[in-house]
Structure 1
Amino acid sequence: MLATTERVELLEYAEDLAKKILQSDLAEQYHICLYKLQSSDEAQRKIRHFVRLKDQYDEVQRFGKYHPDYKRVMSQIREAKREMDLDPYVAAFKMAENDLQSLLDQVSVLVGGAVSKHIKVPTGNPFFDTSSSCSSGCGSGGACGCSA
């Protein structure tokens, strides 16, 4: 692949766009929330507890409802997840993460659309999928019923 002036310019534009995204209010909010989440001993305790239960959950899932600890583990994992999700630092981080992901999805759709309206951009967000047959953003290899 030869480096042409046009390619170099495109790479510079992409790097400039990445820097602008990193300097955006959404990215700053994301980093602040991440720092607060990592600094909160209580939130980290809840996350560690959930991860430990997740290991038990994975073991139980191998056998399903026939595992002797199925009901206990399923109940505990739901309670731990609810407790973790209701933590203010976890909730704030998830909101900031979703906001930043939304910005990145919008940029991806704009860049893909600037090239061609037929470019498939896997956003994972049905809001950005423009057709009812998953013509953009599917990425499931046709598992959803589309003709990918």
Structure 2
Amino acid sequence: MLITTATGSGVLHSAYELGDFVTSSEVYVDYIEAKKTVDNDEEAQQLISTFTRLKDQYDEVQRFGKYHPDFKRVTKEVRETKRMVDTHESIAQYKKAEKALEELLRDVSLIIADTVSKSIKVPTGNPFFDQDGCSGGCGSGGSCGCS
């Protein structure tokens, strides 16, 4: 089915309006503000940098597993640093805002798909939100439980 130029421009216009709706939403504004806060938080940036460095060490240690001489030390440091990153105030707020934005975008995607056709499956990446027994594997080429 071909979309005529008039219809195509209408769809394009609607897509831009939807984009404007999302970027003017409180959820998006909160996300941008939380991101700026993390970007400007020196302590948060130091924690992220330390975690990234340790993650690289962890990946190297994982090549040899428990037989690597630094396995226990690096594994422990990664877990401890990850906990510090996750519990840091500005990073936690950023992750919360990011999750809210992800949920908004997921909901918009589900509404669009449902509007087009009830049989369109939208892989949300979360089996608790996938409907009709679909585990999100439809779009990935893997087997899913869709009926």
Is this a same-fold pair by TM over 0.5? yes
Pair 1:82 & 2:73 matched: no
1:4 corresponds in structure 2 to: 5
Query: What's the CA shift string for 1:63-91, capped at 9, x where partnerless?
Result: 22221111111000000000111100000
Structure 2 CA distance for partners of 1:2 and 1:117, relative to 1, 3 Å: closer
The letter for the 2-side match of 1:129 is D
Query: What's the CA shift string for 1:24-82, capped at 9, x where partnerless?
Result: 00000001100110111011110000000010011111122221111111000000000
Query: What's the CA shift string for 1:66-124, capped at 9, x where partnerless?
Result: 21111111000000000111100000000000000000000000000111111121211
> d(CA) in 1 for partners of 2:99 and 2:134?
25
1:96 corresponds in structure 2 to: 97
Deviates most, 93-102 or 123-132: 123-132
Q: What pairs with 1:123-138 in structure 2 (closer than 5 Å)?
A: 123-134=124-135, 137-138=136-137
> d(CA) in 2 for partners of 1:82 and 1:61?
20
Structure 2 CA distance for partners of 1:126 and 1:6, relative to 1, 3 Å: same
Query: Once the two structures are aligned, what percentage of the paired residues are identical?
Result: 45
> d(CA) in 2 for partners of 1:109 and 1:63?
43
* DSSP 3-state at the match of 1:108: helix
Structure 1 length-normalised TM:
0.90
Number of positions where the alignment pairs a residue of Structure 1 with one of Structure 2: 145
> d(CA) in 1 for partners of 2:8 and 2:116?
15
1:31 corresponds in structure 2 to: 32
CA contact (8 A) 2:132 2:146 kept: no
Query: How large is the RMSD of aligned CA atoms in angstroms?
Result: 1.9
2:145 corresponds in structure 1 to: 146
Q: What pairs with 1:58-69 in structure 2 (closer than 5 Å)?
A: 58-69=59-70
* Uncovered stretches (5+) of structure 1, i.e. residues with no partner: none
Structure 2 CA distance for partners of 1:100 and 1:147, relative to 1, 3 Å: closer
Q: CA deviation at 1:133?
A: 4.5
